[in-house]
C-alpha cells in the first residue's frame, strides 16, 4: 500500500511574497465550518524560507543564523509536498523571509484535522 496524505481544506490557499525583508503579517482565516488545526506550507523556491506563525499579528520572520535561535521554522527548498504544521485554532497570522536578494512565493493552505 502506498503512503497517502489526506488534506481537508478549511480555506483558500494564500500566496505570500518572500524577500530578504520580513513580509507583512497575513491573516489566514478558515472559510468553512470545520475547525482549523493545521496549515500546509509549500516552498517551491530554490532557497530556504523562514516562517513565523502567531495567533494574532505575527512578529517579523527571522532566519536563524549560526549560534542564534529564531521563533521561525524553516521550509526546505523545492518542496514536492507541503509541510503540515499545527497552528492556532481558527484565524492565525503568518510572516515569511529569505536570505540574500532572492524573491519568491510561499503557499499557505489552512487544513483541518487529518482524521
- The CATH number linked to 99 is 2.60.120
What is the pLDDT confidence band of residue 5, given thresholds at 50, 70 and 90? low
Residue 4 lies in a domain: no
pLDDT in tens, 12-35: 999 999 999 999 999 998 776 666
pLDDT 10s digits, 79-109: 999 999 999 887 899 999 998 889 999 999 9
Question: 9 lies in a domain?
Answer: no
Q: What's the domain count of the chain? A: 1
Q: What is the pLDDT of residue 40?
A: 93
Cα angle 92, 18, 88; round to 5: 15
At 48, the pLDDT band (50, 70, 90 cuts) reads very high
Q: How would residue 69 be classed by pLDDT, with cut points 50, 70 and 90?
A: confident
Q: Has residue 78 been placed in a domain?
A: yes
Number of H helices, E strands in the chain: 0, 8
- Strands lying side by side in the sheet with 92-97: 26-28, 92-97, 49-54, 73-75
Residue 97 lies in a domain: yes
> Does the pLDDT of residue 2 top 70, yes or no?
no
Q: Which domain holds residue 93?
A: 14-112
Amino acid at each position: 500500500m502506498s503512503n497517502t496524505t489526506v488534506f481537508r481544506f478549511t480555506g483558500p490557499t494564500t500566496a505570500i511574497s518572500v524577500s530578504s525583508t520580513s513580509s507583512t503579517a497575513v491573516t489566514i482565516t478558515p472559510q468553512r465550518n470545520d475547525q482549523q488545526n493545521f496549515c500546509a506550507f509549500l516552498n517551491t523556491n530554490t532557497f530556504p524560507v523562514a516562517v513565523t506563525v502567531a495567533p494574532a499579528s505575527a512578529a517579523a520572520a527571522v532566519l536563524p543564523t549560526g549560534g542564534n535561535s529564531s521563533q521561525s521554522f524553516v521550509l526546505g527548498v523545492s518542496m514536492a509536498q507541503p509541510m503540515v504544521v499545527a497552528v492556532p485554532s481558527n484565524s492565525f497570522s503568518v510572516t515569511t523571509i529569505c536570505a540574500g536578494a532572492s524573491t519568491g512565493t510561499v503557499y499557505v493552505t489552512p487544513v483541518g484535522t487529518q482524521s
